[in-house]
């Protein structure tokens, strides 16, 4: 391997959604993730969601050919922690985030953006 | 909901592993994730791994009752991108990271640590 090689690049966004309704609705969260995947130029490998029970949170991940989108919700706090990790030049985390905002309707969002795997290896 | 409520806290670590051998070995990666989950005081909900083919990368996630551990590998670059997201006072991302380092034997590691969900909601 060349010392000049760079590791593959990826965009990893940590997303906090506050003041968000109906975060115990697993069907709603499934639709939101499917919508985000469809909008962002990536391919779904598998969508895995787990509901902790009536009125309780949902946790899950959309495993992608270009990495993943995860969601963990606390409906009693109206809070969800998401991360959007996308590799490849055709994937678009901005479109994924827009789709998730549209579907989940948070009152307030915080996004932190990072690059993954950059630099010489 | 009280204006004094704070959102649940979580620790989210972004981990780059460089100079890492055998990242096309899905059984090895499965063992590494199981080891990390066993060591870090969390409960596995489901372990989902996908292998893109002989000599190619592995992508997957350990979905936890306390959030997740993900891994995406590029064996041809000897590079893996992981993230360890753990909620709850009993979970220990440091022990998860130590177990992953022990199992995957990277030559060099970079870790960035973040808090999730803090602050008034």
pLDDT in tens, A63-82: 999 999 999 999 999 999 99
Q: Residue B84 has what pLDDT?
A: 98
Tell whether the model's pLDDT for residue A10 goes beyond 60. yes
Report ipTM (2 d.p.): 0.91
φ and ψ at residue B24, rounded to 5 degrees: -100, 5
Is A68 among the catalytic positions? no
> In angstroms, rounded to a whole number, what is the distance separating the alpha carbons of residues B41 and A9?
32
> In angstroms, rounded to a whole number, what is the distance separating the alpha carbons of residues A82 and A17?
8
* B70 interfacial to chain A (CB closer than 8 Å): yes
Q: pLDDT grade, residue A9 (50/70/90)?
A: confident
Q: What is the tens place of the pLDDT at every residue in A31-40?
A: 999 999 999 9
Q: Residue A79 has what pLDDT?
A: 95
Q: Which two tokens stand for residue A18?
A: 């506050």
Interface of B with A in 28-67 (CB under 8 A): 45-46, 48, 50, 52, 59-61, 63-65, 67
Is A89 among the catalytic positions? no
Tell which residue, A85, A76, A79, A68, has the closest CA to residue A9: A85
Of B48, B59, B74, the CB nearest to A8: B74
Q: Kindly report the nearest CA distance between residue B85 and chain A, in angstroms.
A: 10
* Stated length of chain A: 121
Q: Residue A7 has what pLDDT?
A: 52
Q: pLDDT grade, residue A8 (50/70/90)?
A: low
* A87 interfacial to chain B (CB closer than 8 Å): yes
Is A35 among the catalytic positions? no
Q: Where are the alpha helices (DSSP H) in B3-92?
A: 26-39
Q: pLDDT grade, residue A4 (50/70/90)?
A: very low
Q: Where are the alpha helices (DSSP H) in chain B?
A: 26-39, 93-104
Kindly list the residues from chain A whose CB atom is less than 8 angstroms away from the CB atom of residue B63. 48, 50, 59-61
Q: Kindly report the nearest CA distance between residue A1 and chain B, in angstroms.
A: 8
Yes or no, beta carbons of B83 and A78 under 8 Å apart: no
Yes or no, beta carbons of B85 and A70 under 8 Å apart: yes
Tell whether the model's pLDDT for residue A98 goes beyond 60. yes
List the pLDDT tens digit at each of the 121 positions of chain B.
333 445 567 999 999 999 999 999 999 999 999 999 999 999 999 999 999 999 999 999 999 999 999 999 999 999 999 999 999 888 999 999 999 999 999 999 999 999 998 654 4
Q: Quick one: average pLDDT of A16-41?
A: 97
């Amino acid at each position: 391997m060349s010392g000049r090689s760079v590791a593959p690049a990826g965009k990893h966004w940590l997303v906090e959604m506050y003041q968000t309704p109906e975060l115990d609705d697993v069907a709603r969260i499934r639709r939101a993730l499917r919508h985000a995947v469809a909008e962002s130029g990536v391919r779904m490998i598998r969508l895995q969601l787990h509901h902790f029970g009536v009125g309780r949170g949902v946790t899950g991940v959309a495993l992608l050919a270009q990495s993943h989108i995860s969601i963990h919700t606390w409906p009693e706090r109206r809070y969800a922690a998401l991360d959007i990790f996308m590799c490849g030049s055709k994937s678009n985390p901005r479109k994924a985030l827009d789709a998730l905002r549209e579907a989940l309707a948070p009152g307030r969002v915080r996004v932190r953006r990072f690059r993954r795997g950059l630099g010489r290896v």
